[in-house]
Structure 1
Amino acid sequence: MNKAEYMQSLRKQLRHLPKEDFQRAVDYFEEYFSDAGAEEEAQVIEDLGTPEFAAEQIVANIVRKNAAAPVKDVKKGLNAVWVGVLAVCAAPFALPLALGFAMVIIAFVLCILAVILCFIFAGIIIAIAGPLYIVAGFTVAVANFPAFLSCLGAGLVSMGLGMLLTFGMIRFCQWFLTRMVRFFGHLIEKGGRKNEQNK
């Protein structure tokens, strides 16, 4: 196997990674080969191991890195959870068990995210209702001042509760994704320790 074949196989193994992680990994290996030079190509391939092994190590390292940092962005959090699922599938379990486990985890994460999304939409709707209450209050302000005050109060409370619910659920989503990423990191660490003990 030469460098081109090795890199082609490695790209195929890493194709499911998020674009940013994929590019970083490919750039690293390209640079590694370049630094070694064409005459050391065979030695580099021997040192790195098979493309499959190298891909497993890359995915495991990404999961460990993601598990160490809190999730600040929902999109990055979902990418980190996806990489964790890939790592579990690549772990040296029986393939059906790994796939079954990955599907259960994906279903669980999607269900929780759907519930969070429902609460976020509910918060947005409650917050939008606030200004409508206030506008309705102004329409009756001259004829019925107590009704105006009621509508004003209800509108302000509605906006406050809606914003609280929306931002609270966004923070909860970030916390949940951080926990899931750390869970996958823990699984990978545990699997790595078992492999070292078995050697």
Structure 2
Amino acid sequence: MSKIIEDYIKELNQKLEDLPESDRQDVIDYYHEFLLDGDFQTEQAIIEDLGTPKMLARKVLADYSASADSQSTKQSRKSSHSNLKTIWLILLGVLAAPIGIPLAIVFAFVMIAVLVIFCAVFIAFVAFVLALITGGIFVLVKTFGLLCSSNWATGMFYVGLSLALTTIGIMLLPIIGKFVQFLLARCATLFRYLGGKIFKRHYFKTRSTSGIEE
């Protein structure tokens, strides 16, 4: 193997550290053989065909994250962290994919817009929960003096209302975590779908997938 190919493969391997070891080795073996068979003589020739190791790694990781097959092997690890990583890898892969600058910008804009919408929904939900708690406390403080006056019955009503608001807010607090997981799961699913539409050429190449037509 020439020094040029050796250096390219070594850097690619480092950039693919997020892939499981067995899958990473298969990908490295595939592109190693690809470069040897192609008889590339210069680094520029490799970059023109595959992109830089960093760009190729992003496309491989994005294709892997968007792949239904790869996701089915990670059913037990569908955590918020893994979904967030999936979203990030696919977004980076879209930006690195050679699908034309205008089209890349459109897809990236759509994905970023989706993230903004999901963040807005999350912030609105958190604000609603906090408003219930703070509103309940505020009502309690403002009406506490009524309990010691002739309007004690009205005071009792507002005290009950404040306790109800605060209790509902506190009960909703644990749901915030579940809500985040739900939003990230739905967002990751959407990104996988969009990624599957974008990556017509499969960059996640292994010995078992190398027969896929590009």
Please classify the TM superposition score into its range, dividing by the shorter chain length: 0.5 to 0.7
Q: Secondary structure at the match of 1:141?
A: helix
Change (3 A) 1:101 1:2: closer
1:146 CA drift (Å): 0.8
Aligned match of 1:56: 59
CA distance in 2 between counterparts of 1:115 and 1:179 reads 13
Residues 66 and 80 in structure 1, CA contact (< 8 A), matched pair in contact too: no
Q: 1:66 to 1:113 in 2, by over 3 A?
A: farther
**Kept in 2: contact 1:137–1:152 (CA 8 A):** yes
Query: In the alignment, what sits opposite 1:104?
Result: 110
1:149 positional shift = 1.4
Comparing 189-198 with 134-143, greater Cα deviation is found at 189-198
Of residues 167-176 and 106-115 in structure 1, the stretch that sits farther from structure 2 once superposed is 167-176
| CA deviation profile, 1:64-110 (whole Å, cap 9, x unmatched) | 4568658643x654433222222333445333202221112202321
Structure 2 match to 1:38: none
Does residue 142 (structure 1) correspond to residue 142 (structure 2)? The answer is no
Aligned counterpart in structure 1 of residue 184 of structure 2, from 163, 177, 190 = 177
Normalised TM-score (structure 1)? 0.64
Q: Which runs of 5+ in 2 are unaligned?
A: 36-49, 203-210
Distance 1:48 1:55 in 2: 18
Match of 1:24 in 2: 18
Which residue pairs with 1:46 in the alignment? Answer: 32
Asked if 1:127 corresponds to 2:127, the answer is no
Q: Distance in 1 between matches of 2:178 and 2:21?
A: 34
Going by fraction, where is helix more abundant, 1 or 2? 1
Q: 1:155–1:167: structure 2 CA closer, same or farther, 3 Å change rule?
A: same
Report the CA distance shift for 1:105/1:58 in structure 2 as closer, same or farther (over 3 A). Answer: closer
* Preserved contact between residue 136 and residue 151 of structure 1 (Cα < 8 Å): no
Structure 2 counterpart of 1:152: 159
CA contact (8 A) 2:143 2:158 kept: yes
Match of 2:38 in 1: none
Q: Which amino acid aligns with 2:133?
A: A
Aligned residues: 179
User: SS of 2:99's equivalent?
Assistant: coil
Q: Give the CA RMSD over aligned residues.
A: 3.9
- Give the share of equivalent positions with the same residue, in percent: 20
